[in-house]
Amino acid sequence: MINNAFNQANSASRQNLFRLGLIRAVVLAGQALALVYFSFFKPIDLPSSEIAWVLAIYASVTIATANRGRVNIPIGNKEFFVHLLVDIFFFSILLYFSGGASNPFISYYLISISIAAIALPRMYTSVIAIITLGCYSLLLS
């Protein structure tokens, strides 16, 4: 009975990580397309090389996350929490290079908070919300 509960919890965590990886892939593709569009077709004076480097590193993290989901080691709340922090970190860097708090995609911060609220205990969600608020505040200055 205990083993069955553990397997179900691990399965749910693995599924959450898989879904987070899908969200990352979609967001990454959208950001790459936006970079190409606003660099070549409608230039708006973005630091393209810096953004491209950040996107390349973020792509490698996304691939590593996909590979992590295939390893048969349990995925706990702490690990999922760290994955959300990584997303917030990369998103904050991308926002820094592309308009800061005035970027219309600033509301994407709410996605990380929502995912944390759904998948993690209250303490982790509170920390995610506080860190996100701090990143947003830094972008305002």
For residue range 17-35, list pLDDT tens digits in order. Answer: 899 999 999 999 999 999 9
Share of the chain above pLDDT 70, in %: 93
Question: Is the confidence at residue 71, as pLDDT, over 90?
Answer: no
Q: Is 110 exposed, middle or buried (0-12, 13-18, 19+ CB in 10 A)?
A: exposed
Mean pLDDT of 102-126: 94
Q: In 10 A of CB 1, how many CB atoms?
A: 5
pTM here is: 0.88
Q: Which two tokens stand for residue 134?
A: 């701090």
Question: Is the confidence at residue 109, as pLDDT, over 70?
Answer: yes
Question: Is the confidence at residue 52, as pLDDT, over 80?
Answer: yes
Share of the chain above pLDDT 90, in %: 70
Cα–Cα distance measured from residue 30 to residue 104, given in angstroms and rounded to the nearest whole number: 14
Mean pLDDT of 8-16: 74
Residue 32's alpha-carbon distances to 48, 55, 64, 101, in angstroms, are 10, 7, 18, 20
Helix (H) or strand (E) holding 18: helix 2-36
Cα–Cα distance measured from residue 94 to residue 83, given in angstroms and rounded to the nearest whole number: 17
Question: Is the confidence at residue 90, as pLDDT, over 60?
Answer: yes
Cα–Cα distance measured from residue 14 to residue 20, given in angstroms and rounded to the nearest whole number: 10
Question: Is the confidence at residue 62, as pLDDT, over 60?
Answer: yes
Cα–Cα distance measured from residue 107 to residue 46, given in angstroms and rounded to the nearest whole number: 20
How much is the mean pLDDT over the chain?
A: 90
